[in-house]
Structure 1
């Protein structure tokens, strides 16, 4: 474990967890650079706010000191958690969630670039809306086009169409997918309360809410752990889509990552539907 020192407080502070497995160093450095810049902006509004980043190494972590320099440059403390092997996405984040002591905790993918004002706007929103417990931002792709990653409860057909059909074939299901992706409500302007499911690429929690939920369900190795956590979050707090908070997402779907990811997707989908109920069509 490597760490820089930072003050801790039970009542204030932000922690961030990033789980990596054989990460692409250039993208990880970009993520840390944008995170560091967003933390710097946050500290101009909230001087002395403790911030700590947990980098969870699920395997294949190369020399990341150059990437971590992006955090050091912005005076952001960091801790590397390693040696536990590839325990899966949710269990990896749980290692950091167990240690989180501040008021807020951000679950962050290593393929996200944060807007410089993202954290300021997010925490300001939490301050103004005490019933909000989980915040999801406006998410764009590499060209700046909006990604619709809020979801209504899926049917099995929705998942098959969106995840595995080629683009041309998906057009035949455009109306169905638009409903699943909440395109009737999600836009660049309007706050939307209580979307059923939000993306795990950026989930900003009040830490006490996350602790009540005991973090992610460790039975999911990869995929659907964010669906599961989103649905459970509604039991203890309100979930909110806040488009003033903006990030870019460089990720891809399971079908584009090969057969191993397809198998993991199918196994996690079975666990998810078995727990929350099957919907076929």
Structure 2
């Protein structure tokens, strides 16, 4: 996880230099999705008004021309080329290590912020000091509201998922209500966790609990962060008047065998880090049981052209789960934050500022 001592030292050094503190630091991690990132940055710039914001784009070693394209299109953004890909949590921690704002916003590259979203979020957190993380109302590109609030994974939820279709669980309040179907998305809610496409956190809270846990490469890192923030005594709120558009699939390229495996891996890692190895092993068994029961569906369709991709996803995940039952995931060892970032915040080479 992010070194809080280095973060504080960097911020204090820049304050001593007389650099005016921005109201909000907005972090966007880019990986081969320059067009999405540019759109996200431009939406922030269009809706910031006279709000003091700094925009930090962290590029996780994109294999295309993302860095040059982003710097050319949005020269006011600070673009940090890390030269490594330590995952989504790690990339955001790189941004956190140089962010100067009173608030830090983790924003997906495949999003757009709506008018007054930033101002409303900051005003709400100013008025509610007990809130440690704020999530937004998210709509897809067609205007459909997405369910962005959820509870931590629990063994009972994994049990029901093993025996009931996802279509039933997504709509059910009886079997765990993991997606808060009992709550209205028109009301401000105190929830366990929010989707990580928009997470605004006061800087003082990050200084206290740390940044994202970069043992997670991708997925579930926001759940663990929400869990740690709540454990420190703060609340996590969803705010329906803070609105974004979330197009989805920006850096991940949609569903793939890799993402199917990473999703399961992150769930097991979350259970291990928050509930212990024993609970994680039981959870792995329940996930494996559910996948085994679904073999009656996935194996037959995997021989058809239409079902080949879904069958490949199932097979990759099933093989991983069999191995994970014996050797539990312990998380990645992330690369170190580059020296040019850790020591200087950012350099002329890394930034257009």
TM-score, structure 1 normalization: 0.81
Counterpart pick for 2:65 among 25, 41, 62: 62
The equivalent of 2:260 in structure 1 is 262
1:36 aligns with 2:45: yes
3-state SS of paired residue (1:29): helix
1:205 aligns with 2:215: no
1:157 Cα offset (Å): 7.5
What pairs with 1:13-32 in structure 2 (closer than 5 Å)?
13-23=23-33, 25-32=34-41
Task: Report which of the two structures shows the higher radius of gyration computed on alpha carbons.
Answer: 2
The equivalent of 2:312 in structure 1 is none
What pairs with 1:1-281 in structure 2 (closer than 5 Å)?
8-10=19-21, 12-23=22-33, 25-40=34-49, 43=50, 46=51, 49=52, 51-60=53-62, 61-64=64-67, 67-68=70-71, 71-72=74-75, 77-155=76-154, 158=157, 169-173=165-169, 174-175=171-172, 179-188=177-186, 190-193=187-190, 195-234=191-230, 235-252=232-249, 256-277=254-275, 278=279, 280=283
Partners in 1 of 2:58 and 2:160 — Cα distance?
32
1:84 Cα offset (Å): 3.2
Deviates more, 1:204-213 or 1:247-256: 247-256
Q: Give every structure 1 segment of 4 or more consecutive aligned residues whose post-TM-superposition deviation is greater than 4 Å.
A: 63-72, 156-162, 252-256
3-state SS of paired residue (1:257): coil
The equivalent of 1:4 in structure 2 is none
1:152 Cα offset (Å): 1.3
1:268 Cα offset (Å): 1.6
Gapped regions of structure 1 (runs ≥ 5):
1-6
Query: Could you list the per-position Cα deviations for residues 83-123 of structure 1 after superposition, in whole angstroms to 9, with x for gaps in the alignment?
Result: 33111111111011111222011001101111021111111
Paired positions, count = 257
Gapped regions of structure 2 (runs ≥ 5):
1-17, 287-353
Alpha carbons 1:135, 1:241 under 8 Å: kept: yes
Partners in 2 of 1:186 and 1:21 — Cα distance?
34
TM-score, structure 2 normalization: 0.65
Partners in 1 of 2:189 and 2:235 — Cα distance?
11
